[in-house]
Amino acid sequence: MSNTFSRRSFEQMSAQRDRSGAMWFMQAVTGLLLVGILGMHMIAHHFIVEGGLRNYEQVLDYVANPVVFTIEVIFVIVAVIHALLGVQAIITDLRPAPRTMRAVEWILRVVALVAIAYGVYLALALQQAAG
């Protein structure tokens, strides 16, 4: 009986480790993407613009460009995913019960969807204000 229990525990731990590795890799990838996207964002918004900051009309003109709009939406998505993977990693380090962890994962997924939807909604509103 204990052999069966040990085998199940080992399989569950192994599956969790494989998943943790994938989550770590995803957070590393999103972190690298953030460095690049944030760098482009900072350069475009603070170093190219005369005076160091765009006014409202300049922002509308800037976001009207479909390439810029796409990059800004990707920025929102990558930032949300990276942040919530970080929160999940912190909670995982606290070693909650499996049931609690499943609830946390679902809550973080809902938060991610709401945050991304709101960010895209705001980007679309800005782009419509420009047009």
Q: Is residue 15 part of a domain?
A: no
Residue 7 — pLDDT band, cuts 50, 70, 90? low
Q: Is residue 14 part of a domain?
A: no
Q: What is the pTM of this model?
A: 0.78
Q: Is residue 16 part of a domain?
A: no
Q: Is residue 68 part of a domain?
A: yes
What are the pLDDT digits (tens) for 40-59?
A: 888 887 788 777 778 888 88
Find how far residue 124's CA is from the centre of its chain: 19
By the 8 A CB rule, do 108 and 44 touch?
no
Looking at the 3D structure of the chain, how many domains does it have?
1
Q: Is residue 32 part of a domain?
A: yes
Average pLDDT over residues 16-31: 82
Q: Is residue 6 part of a domain?
A: no
Contacts of 131 (CB under 8 A, 6+ apart): 64
What are the pLDDT digits (tens) for 84-123?
A: 999 999 999 999 999 999 999 999 999 999 999 999 999 9
